[in-house]
């Protein structure tokens, strides 16, 4: 029996009160995500149920019950309080996918602080920008990432505590560095949960834009309502499921559906912290008898590339439901998954800013390979005319994806950038920044971004951020960054540069540039190719025209060049 039942029935008389009643929440009550994901589940009689199966590099294995994660959240929260961390302080989590990352997430929220998860592969400059913008007060990390923080600590006066979860006592600590071992700490049985309410800030995720610095997307504790119900209905998680979300909590999928959604439902989930390998992934599914698998099109295409033979050697019969997130899921991947797993990957569409799924395919619903599906019940999703910002009723006509504001997980602002936040709303609609069309049955079909943001493997990369890093190199005069087609990631980063007088572009120069920016950017933001140009295409006002460079890479018509500067 699937949780959503009939989609058409669900959208009739829908109310978010369905989730509120199931969570026993009433307007005005205290609502704390950390408590709901651990203490409440224990109070429901599931204390000894496994909450987390973890596997890491070197065959490290651990498992945690819901009582274990409750105690760990209390212990971490108490430690932070003892340092002086208070409600709404920003606490950054800068760790690999180790258990402490997931457990700290709960601990930070339990004391009312704002959790700021960041991808551990970020370079020091990317880290600096985000910590500086958030005025982060504490960072929880591993010793392997300490060197990045030490490089920038002098430029971060707000950062008072650097907490190291795996400190080696033989190593000397520097100012502000504090060791913390969950294993060696006395578990805290009882801790006063901070009385956060619906509008109390909870999570601060950073997302990239086409211009300017990355923006801090602020969510609140009431976002739980959306995340709980979408997890239940779209991912169809049921009490005996073993769930695997492959996303890193540095990205919003890894928190909304890799922590909050499953644990608020009391579901056992698995985490694999090791490099990608088709065989290793399949064996992980076989070992833990994973039933529900939420992954990304990039990973799915990589699995396709690995071939079908490996699948025949491994027992994957436990799988009953598959879903995909992060970028468009091409029809070929849906057809392939039906062939090899006997199940289609169901595409889901949403964003960091929306906090939860918005347009999705559902169990029991007719699946059209390549389509995004339909709006989640309670979500009014439309395609708007790009000039009038009025909904398009004509099937097949391309417009802007937009949503009627008011769902529980919608962001409440961009951190310290209210002006940019307000720009996302036009004519009473939230603009997603993507283009699509509707077919005659109301299914959405993705066309592309409405801006220059690069979607590589489901992760958004800001051209501006990469261009800025390139311009810090002594030899580079100008830079422009665009997406380049890629078989696995759909898009990768390509950089175009001009050089200052006295420099020549050769293999040594290219290697030098690559090594230079590798220290500043995450691996996902690294250019896969650098092309030297004598001059970059510009408007007469001097603005670099990325559009022309993008068209060149994708074999598209260049279009109007009347604003190009004269040669």
**For 175-189, what is the mean pLDDT?**
96
Q: How far apart are CA 367 and CA 358, in angstroms?
A: 17
Report whether 263 contacts 226 (CB < 8 A). no
Q: 394-450 pLDDT, tens per residue?
A: 999 989 999 999 999 999 999 999 999 999 999 999 999 998 999 999 999 988 777
DSSP string of 434-450, one letter each residue: EEEEE-TTS-EEEEEES
Could you name the CATH architecture of 7-436?
3-Layer(aba) Sandwich (3.40)
For residue 123, CA distances in Å to 8, 128, 151, 474 come to 47, 9, 10, 19
**Residue 268: how many CA atoms within 13 Å on its side-chain side?**
18
pLDDT number for residue 326? 85
The pLDDT tens digits of the residues spanning 522-548 come to: 888 899 999 999 988 875 545 677 888
Distance CA 394, CA 440 (A): 8
CA distance 421 to 412: 8
Q: Is the pLDDT of residue 458 over 80?
A: no
- 382 contacts 374 by C-beta, under 8 angstroms: no
The 3-class SS string of 63-132 reads EEEHHHHHHHHHHHHHHHHHHCCCCCCEEEEECCCCHHHHHHHHHHHHCCCEEEECCCCCCHHHHHHHHH
User: Alpha-carbon distance 220 to 198, whole Å?
Assistant: 7
Would you state the pLDDT for residue 325? 93
pLDDT at 542: 55
Residues of 325-360 as b/e, b for ≥16 C-beta within 10 angstroms? Answer: bbbbbbeebbebbeeebeebbbbbbbbbbbbbbbbb
454-554: CATH homologous superfamily?
ANL, C-terminal domain (3.30.300.30)
Cα–Cα distance, 103 to 126 (Å, whole number)? 24
Rounded to an integer, what distance in angstroms lies between the CA atom of residue 531 and that of residue 542?
A: 20
**Over the chain, what is the mean pLDDT?**
92
Residues with Cβ within 8 Å of residue 278, at least 6 apart in sequence? 302, 303, 306, 307, 310
Q: Please report the pLDDT score of residue 563 as a whole number.
A: 40
Between CA 476 and CA 513 the distance in angstroms is: 9
- Cα–Cα nearest to 243, from 81, 426, 517, 49: 49
Residue with more model confidence, 304 or 212: 304
Distance, CA of 94 to CA of 102 (rounded, Å)? 11
Range of 161-165, 248-252, 328-332 with top mean pLDDT: 161-165
Q: How far is Cα 103 from Cα 111, in angstroms, rounded to an integer?
A: 13
Contacts of 418 (CB under 8 A, 6+ apart): none
The predicted pLDDT at position 566 comes to 45
Q: Measured between alpha carbons, how far is 567 from 198 in angstroms, rounded to an integer?
A: 58
Q: What is the pLDDT confidence band of residue 560, given thresholds at 50, 70 and 90?
A: very low
Total-model pTM = 0.85
Q: Within 10 A of 462 (CB to CB), how many other CB atoms are there?
A: 23
Please choose, from the candidates 94, 87, 82, 77, the residue with its C-alpha nearest in 3D space to the C-alpha of residue 153: 94
Q: Please give the pLDDT value at position 452.
A: 73
The answer to whether 447 and 435 have CB atoms below 8 angstroms apart is yes
Is the pLDDT at 373 greater than 90, yes or no? yes
pLDDT, one tens digit per residue, over 62-120 is 999 999 999 999 999 999 999 999 999 999 999 999 999 999 999 999 999 999 999 99
Nearest to 11 by CA among 167, 298, 229: 229
Alpha-carbon separation of residue 134 from 40, 90, 128, 242, 285 (angstroms): 30, 7, 10, 35, 38
| C-alpha angle 456-96-494 in degrees, rounded to nearest 5 | 20
pLDDT at 51 (0 to 100): 98
DSSP for 159-194? --EEEETT--TTSPP-TTEEE--TTTSPP-S--PPP
DSSP category for residue 224: H
CB burial class (10 A; 0-12, 13-18, 19+) of residue 408?
Answer: buried
Cα–Cα dist 214/236, whole Å: 33
When pLDDT is averaged across residues 6-32 and rounded to a whole number, the result is: 95
The CA distance from 100 to 116, in Å, is: 14
Specify the pLDDT at position 567: 40
* Alpha-carbon 35 to chain mean position: 22
Span 255-266, pLDDT tens digits: 999 999 999 999
The CA distance from 457 to 526, in Å, is 13
Q: For the chain, what are the domain ranges?
A: 7-436, 454-554
Q: What is the mean pLDDT of residues 35-40?
A: 98
Q: DSSP characters for 499-522? A: E-TT---SHHHHHHHHHHHHTTS-
Q: Could you tell me whether strands 161-164 and 177-179 are parallel, antiparallel, or unpaired per DSSP bridges? A: parallel
């Amino acid at each position: 029996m699937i949780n959503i039942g009939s989609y058409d029935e669900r959208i009739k008389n829908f109310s978010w009160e369905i989730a509120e009643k199931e969570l026993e929440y009433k307007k005005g009550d205290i609502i704390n995500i950390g408590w709901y994901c651990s203490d409440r589940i224990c109070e429901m009689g599931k204390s000894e149920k496994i909450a987390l199966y973890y596997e890491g590099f070197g065959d490290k294995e651990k498992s945690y019950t819901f009582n274990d994660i409750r105690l760990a959240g209390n212990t971490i929260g108490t430690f932070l309080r003892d340092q002086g961390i208070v409600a709404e302080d920003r606490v950054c989590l800068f760790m690999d996918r180790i258990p402490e990352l997931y457990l700290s997430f709960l601990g930070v929220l339990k004391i009312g602080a704002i959790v700021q998860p960041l991808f551990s592969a970020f370079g020091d400059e990317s880290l600096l920008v985000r910590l500086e913008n958030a005025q982060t007060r504490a960072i929880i990390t591993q010793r392997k990432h300490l060197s990045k923080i030490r490089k920038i600590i002098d430029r971060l006066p707000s950062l008072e505590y650097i907490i190291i979860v795996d400190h080696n006592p033989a190593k000397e600590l520097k100012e502000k560095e504090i060791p913390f071992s969950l294993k060696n700490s006395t578990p805290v049985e009882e801790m006063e949960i901070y009385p956060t309410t619906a509008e109390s800030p909870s999570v601060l995720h950073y997302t990239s834009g086409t211009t300017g610095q990355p923006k801090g997307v602020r969510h609140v504790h009431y976002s739980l309502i959306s995340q709980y119900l979408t997890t239940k209905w779209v991912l169809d998680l049921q009490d005996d499921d073993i769930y695997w979300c492959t996303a890193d909590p540095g990205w919003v999928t890894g928190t909304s559906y890799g922590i909050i959604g499953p644990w608020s439902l009391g579901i056992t989930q698995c985490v694999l912290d090791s490099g990608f390998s088709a065989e290793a992934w399949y064996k992980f599914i076989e070992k833990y008898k994973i039933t529900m698998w939420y992954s990304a099109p990039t990973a799915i295409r990589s699995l396709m590339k690995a071939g079908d033979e490996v699948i025949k050697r491994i027992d994957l019969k436990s799988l009953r439901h598959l879903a995909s997130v992060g970028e468009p899921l091409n029809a070929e991947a849906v057809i392939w998954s039906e062939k090899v797993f006997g199940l289609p990957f169901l595409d889901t569409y949403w964003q960091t800013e929306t906090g939860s799924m918005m347009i999705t395919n559902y169990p029991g619903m007719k699946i059209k390979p390549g389509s995004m599906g339909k709006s989640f019940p309670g979500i009014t999703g439309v395609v708007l005319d790009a000039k009038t910002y009025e909904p398009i009723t004509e099937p097949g006509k391309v417009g802007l994806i937009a949503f009627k504001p008011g769902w529980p997980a919608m962001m409440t602002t961009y951190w310290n950038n209210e002006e940019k936040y307000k720009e996302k709303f036009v004519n009473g609609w939230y603009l997603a920044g993507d283009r699509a069309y509707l077919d005659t049955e109301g299914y959405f079909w993705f066309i592309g971004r409405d801006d220059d943001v690069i979607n590589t493997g489901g992760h958004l990369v800001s051209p501006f951020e990469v261009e800025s890093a390139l311009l810090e190199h002594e030899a580079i005069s100008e830079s422009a960054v665009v997406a380049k087609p890629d078989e696995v990631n759909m898009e990768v980063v390509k950089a175009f540069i001009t050089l200052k007088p006295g420099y020549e572009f050769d293999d040594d120069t290219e290697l030098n540039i690559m090594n230079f920016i590798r220290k500043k950017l995450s691996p996902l933001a690294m250019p896969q190719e650098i092309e030297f140009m004598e001059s970059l295409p510009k408007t007469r006002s001097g603005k670099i025209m990325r559009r022309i460079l993008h068209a060149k890479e994708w074999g598209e018509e260049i279009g109007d060049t009347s604003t190009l500067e004269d040669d």
